[in-house]
Amino acid sequence: MPQYVVLIYERMTPNWPDDVPPEVMAANETVDAEMVERGGRILAGIALQPPDTATAVRGDLVTDGPFIETKEALAGVTVIEARDLDHALELAKLTPVANGGVEVRPLLGIQLGDTS
Protein backbone atom coordinates (compact mmCIF):
# COMPACT_ATOMS: atom_id res chain seq x y z
CA MET A 1 0.00 0.00 0.00
CA PRO A 2 1.18 3.57 -0.62
CA GLN A 3 2.60 5.47 2.33
CA TYR A 4 1.82 9.03 3.37
CA VAL A 5 3.10 11.38 6.03
CA VAL A 6 0.55 13.30 8.08
CA LEU A 7 2.12 16.54 9.27
CA ILE A 8 0.31 17.75 12.39
CA TYR A 9 0.18 21.50 12.95
CA GLU A 10 -1.04 23.07 16.17
CA ARG A 11 -1.58 26.64 17.24
CA MET A 12 1.14 27.22 19.78
CA THR A 13 0.15 28.78 23.10
CA PRO A 14 2.43 29.77 25.99
CA ASN A 15 1.52 26.58 27.90
CA TRP A 16 1.45 24.17 24.95
CA PRO A 17 1.18 21.15 25.21
CA ASP A 18 -0.13 21.35 28.78
CA ASP A 19 -3.23 23.24 27.64
CA VAL A 20 -4.23 20.70 24.97
CA PRO A 21 -7.73 19.52 25.93
CA PRO A 22 -7.79 16.11 27.65
CA GLU A 23 -10.18 14.71 25.03
CA VAL A 24 -7.67 15.49 22.28
CA MET A 25 -4.88 13.78 24.23
CA ALA A 26 -7.15 10.78 24.91
CA ALA A 27 -8.03 10.49 21.21
CA ASN A 28 -4.37 9.72 20.51
CA GLU A 29 -4.91 6.43 22.37
CA THR A 30 -7.64 5.27 19.96
CA VAL A 31 -6.65 6.69 16.56
CA ASP A 32 -4.47 3.65 15.77
CA ALA A 33 -7.39 1.23 16.11
CA GLU A 34 -9.74 3.54 14.20
CA MET A 35 -7.36 3.69 11.24
CA VAL A 36 -7.04 -0.11 11.18
CA GLU A 37 -10.84 -0.43 11.27
CA ARG A 38 -10.96 1.79 8.16
CA GLY A 39 -8.37 -0.26 6.29
CA GLY A 40 -5.27 1.84 6.98
CA ARG A 41 -2.29 1.49 9.26
CA ILE A 42 -0.03 3.78 11.29
CA LEU A 43 3.60 2.88 10.64
CA ALA A 44 5.16 5.49 12.93
CA GLY A 45 4.20 8.56 14.89
CA ILE A 46 6.04 11.07 17.00
CA ALA A 47 5.20 14.27 18.85
CA LEU A 48 7.67 17.15 18.77
CA GLN A 49 8.85 19.52 21.48
CA PRO A 50 7.54 23.13 21.13
CA PRO A 51 9.16 25.36 18.47
CA ASP A 52 11.11 27.40 21.03
CA THR A 53 13.28 24.30 21.54
CA ALA A 54 14.22 24.20 17.85
CA THR A 55 17.48 25.19 16.22
CA ALA A 56 17.19 26.16 12.54
CA VAL A 57 19.98 25.64 10.00
CA ARG A 58 19.98 27.44 6.63
CA GLY A 59 23.33 26.92 4.92
CA ASP A 60 25.93 28.28 7.34
CA LEU A 61 23.34 30.25 9.36
CA VAL A 62 22.31 28.61 12.66
CA THR A 63 19.63 30.29 14.80
CA ASP A 64 17.89 29.39 18.05
CA GLY A 65 14.19 28.74 17.77
CA PRO A 66 12.12 28.34 14.64
CA PHE A 67 13.29 30.09 11.49
CA ILE A 68 10.00 31.95 10.96
CA GLU A 69 7.32 33.31 13.26
CA THR A 70 3.97 31.57 12.92
CA LYS A 71 0.87 30.90 15.01
CA GLU A 72 0.76 27.25 13.97
CA ALA A 73 3.83 25.08 14.15
CA LEU A 74 4.69 21.50 13.31
CA ALA A 75 3.72 19.52 16.41
CA GLY A 76 4.20 15.96 15.19
CA VAL A 77 4.28 13.55 12.29
CA THR A 78 2.60 10.25 11.56
CA VAL A 79 3.44 7.86 8.74
CA ILE A 80 0.46 5.88 7.49
CA GLU A 81 -0.38 3.33 4.83
CA ALA A 82 -3.53 3.92 2.79
CA ARG A 83 -5.04 2.59 -0.44
CA ASP A 84 -4.74 5.96 -2.19
CA LEU A 85 -4.74 9.70 -1.50
CA ASP A 86 -8.49 9.83 -0.88
CA HIS A 87 -8.16 7.05 1.69
CA ALA A 88 -5.15 8.80 3.27
CA LEU A 89 -7.20 12.00 3.62
CA GLU A 90 -10.04 10.05 5.23
CA LEU A 91 -7.59 8.53 7.72
CA ALA A 92 -5.84 11.86 8.35
CA LYS A 93 -9.16 13.38 9.44
CA LEU A 94 -8.99 11.03 12.44
CA THR A 95 -5.83 12.80 13.70
CA PRO A 96 -6.55 14.51 17.03
CA VAL A 97 -5.77 18.22 16.71
CA ALA A 98 -6.68 20.86 19.30
CA ASN A 99 -6.25 24.13 17.36
CA GLY A 100 -4.71 23.47 14.00
CA GLY A 101 -4.85 21.02 11.15
CA VAL A 102 -2.97 18.37 9.24
CA GLU A 103 -1.20 18.19 5.89
CA VAL A 104 -0.95 14.92 3.97
CA ARG A 105 1.92 14.17 1.59
CA PRO A 106 2.76 10.99 -0.30
CA LEU A 107 6.19 9.54 0.47
CA LEU A 108 8.71 9.05 -2.32
CA GLY A 109 9.68 5.66 -0.98
CA ILE A 110 13.31 6.65 -0.48
CA GLN A 111 14.65 5.85 2.98
CA LEU A 112 17.89 7.12 4.46
CA GLY A 113 20.31 4.27 4.87
CA ASP A 114 18.46 2.23 2.24
CA THR A 115 21.13 0.09 0.57
CA SER A 116 18.89 -1.57 -2.02
pTM check: above 0.75: yes
Exposed e or buried b for every residue in 46-70, given b needs 16+ CB within 10 A?
Answer: eeeebbeeeeeeeeeeeeeebeeee
Label residue 110 by pLDDT band (50, 70, 90).
low
- Give the CATH number, domain containing residue 39: 3.30.70.1060
Q: In this structure, are residues 86 and 18 in contact, taking their beta carbons and an 8 Å threshold?
A: no
111 domain residue, yes or no? no
DSSP annotation of 39? T
Instruction: Domain of residue 17: give its range.
Output: 3-103
Number of domains in the chain: 1
Q: In this structure, are residues 50 and 12 in contact, taking their beta carbons and an 8 Å threshold?
A: yes
86-104 pLDDT, tens digit per residue, is: 999 999 999 999 889 999 9
